[in-house]
Amino acid sequence: MSTTRWITEMGMGVDVHGGDYTKAGRRAVSDALRHSSLNFFNAAGKSREDMHVEVRVAVQHPDQVDVASIAEEVPYGTVTVTPTMGGLDVPAPNGIDLMVIANAAILVSFVD
């Protein structure tokens, strides 16, 4: 199956307390989605359900990301989530708490 990418959006999310990579990832995806207003569906003969949405979430511990929870942030299309190494961990001065920063890229393609 051949696809063509039509949209690329980026976002950043933070879990300020608790070190939750999934929470930071969900916020990064939500941030990216809030930058989008897609008005081309009728002109292109496509629908929201035709979208193939690839979500890449970058955090320091990708193995701790709940991909199903991240996918729930995307309201339309066929969604795949790939956690990858990136983001930033910021320990609290007391060494007990952890701030987690995640980056997300949302790539939308359609079948040719």
- Residue-wise pLDDT tens digits, 14-36: 999 999 999 999 999 999 999 78
| pLDDT higher than threshold 90 for residue 80 | yes
CATH topology classification for 3-35+48-111:
60s Ribosomal Protein L30; Chain: A; (3.30.1330)
**Which of these, 87, 89, 93, 92, lies nearest to 105 by C-alpha position?**
87
pLDDT given at position 94 = 85
Round the average pLDDT of the chain to a whole number and report it: 94
- Whether 54 has a pLDDT exceeding 90, the answer reads yes
How many residues would you count in the chain?
112
DSSP-derived letter for residue 9 is E
pTM of the model: 0.91
CA distances from 111 to 8, 26, 37, 38 (A): 16, 26, 21, 17
Alpha carbon of residue 107 to chain centroid: 9
Does residue 81 register a pLDDT over 90? Answer: yes
